[in-house]
Amino acid sequence: MTEFDPYLHDPLRWGASMVHHSAALLGCLDATGATSVAEIGAYAGDLTRVLVDWANRSGATVIAIDPAPQPALVEMAERHERLRLMRRTSLDALPELELPDVVIIDGDHNYYTVEQELIAIAKRADGAPLPLLLFHDVAWPHARRDDYFDPARIPADDRHQLIPAGYGITPENPGSTPGGLPYPKSAVVEGGARNGVLTAVEDFVAGSDELRLVVVPAFFGFGAVWQRSAPWTDAVAAVLDPLDRNPLLARLEANRVLHIATEHELRHQVWDTNERLTRTNRLLERLLQSSAFGVAELLSKLRVRAGIAENQSVISKDEVREALR
């Protein structure tokens, strides 16, 4: 497989890209014998690049769906004949798309969008077997908390209240907190009905003995749904069973996101302290340049000399300069 940088568009190294799940994902593609794959939410093409590399070896085709593809993805689509780029939202593209063997859902991470994507796929299948469905962000933070690429696209009744300005989220708080991780377009409260990616997927499979759901609790969560009657079900299960809700992976992920949140909070505290110091320095510099401050310094000296303010120190520009140094 071609070498790739999983942190190419992840400068803080949060492990935010689905490309971190490539080994399991490609194992599933090989297990199904897929000849076509659709990726919802291709963005800059980090995972797309891996899929195209796989397609060049397997002879498959890849469909990248994204309403706002980044230049790297556009350039990739121009160079690779096995890659087709659809510049549309998933909800516009899916009703017209000939269903591929596998659909990767990693677009808008909220209940409404994922629900509508799954409904569209089921309608398109029209009673035929569903594709293998693969998901990202089925663990914290978006498993039980909506996030909106563009809140205006979500019907008001299906949109949760957003996190207030200046607040963020942490894995130990279902609400929001100052200094938390910056998800300004996420729901203010985690949990509850119709909230989050995993909630939408669980509701989709609920009540069906025919559908199986697997959750890999690592790198913000990798999920899979497929029909147990599919001819490749045992092959896919062999890839994912050791990872499904694996308690060791779950503990590692919980530890990982806690450290991400803690480091960010410390960075925020340092930034806040530096900002306060900067404001203080600016104020002191303005005092030094103020003629009124010069008068106050002179009056202070006179009061001390006259014995009017025996227990007070002189207000001194020299002290302000020393503080600034």
Cα separation of 160 and 142, whole Å? 13
Q: Locate tokens 């960010």: which residue? A: 264
Residue 323 banded pLDDT, cuts 50, 70, 90 = low
Q: What is residue 285's predicted lDDT score, i.e. its pLDDT?
A: 72
For residue 309, pLDDT over 60 is answered with: no
Q: Count of CB atoms within 10 A of residue 322's CB?
A: 9
Residue 23 banded pLDDT, cuts 50, 70, 90 = very high
Q: What is residue 293's predicted lDDT score, i.e. its pLDDT?
A: 62
Q: Of 74, 125, 66, 109, which Cα lies nearest the Cα of 90? A: 66
Mean pLDDT of the residues in the chain: 90
Q: Of 270, 264, 134, 283, which Cα lies nearest the Cα of 197? A: 134
Q: What is residue 34's predicted lDDT score, i.e. its pLDDT?
A: 98
Cα separation of 111 and 103, whole Å? 17
Q: Count of CB atoms within 10 A of residue 32's CB?
A: 21
- Of the chain, the percentage scoring pLDDT greater than 70 comes to 84
Asked if 29 and 54 count as a contact pair (C-beta separation under 8 A), the reply is yes
Over residues 133-158, the mean pLDDT reads 97
Residue 179 banded pLDDT, cuts 50, 70, 90 = confident
Q: Count of CB atoms within 10 A of residue 185's CB?
A: 16
Over residues 56-63, the mean pLDDT reads 97
Asked if 317 and 293 count as a contact pair (C-beta separation under 8 A), the reply is yes
Cα 296 to chain center, whole Å?
Answer: 54
For residue 295, pLDDT over 90 is answered with: no
Cα separation of 45 and 190, whole Å? 29
Q: What is residue 266's predicted lDDT score, i.e. its pLDDT?
A: 79
Cα separation of 205 and 34, whole Å? 22
For residue 229, pLDDT over 70 is answered with: yes
Mind listing the domains of the chain with CATH numbers? 18-247 (3.40.50.150), 269-324 (no CATH)
Residue 243 banded pLDDT, cuts 50, 70, 90 = very high
For residue 227, pLDDT over 90 is answered with: yes
- Of the chain, the percentage scoring pLDDT greater than 90 comes to 75
Q: What is residue 28's predicted lDDT score, i.e. its pLDDT?
A: 98
Cα separation of 90 and 66, whole Å? 7
Of residues 210 and 324, the one with the higher pLDDT is 210
Q: Which long-range contacts (CB under 8 A, 24 or more apart) does 78-86 make?
A: 80/52, 80/56, 82/52, 82/55, 82/56, 83/48, 83/52, 83/55, 85/42
* Segment 74-105, tens digit of pLDDT: 999 999 999 999 999 999 999 999 999 999 99
For residue 281, pLDDT over 90 is answered with: no
For residue 307, pLDDT over 60 is answered with: no
**Kind of pairing between the strands at 132-136 and 222-227:** antiparallel
Q: Which has the minimum average pLDDT: 30-39, 169-178, 285-294?
A: 285-294
Q: Which two tokens stand for residue 200?
A: 């939408």
Cα separation of 47 and 102, whole Å? 14
Of residues 110 and 10, the one with the higher pLDDT is 110
Cα separation of 306 and 246, whole Å? 80
* Segment 248-277, tens digit of pLDDT: 999 999 999 999 999 988 776 655 555 566
For residue 20, pLDDT over 80 is answered with: yes
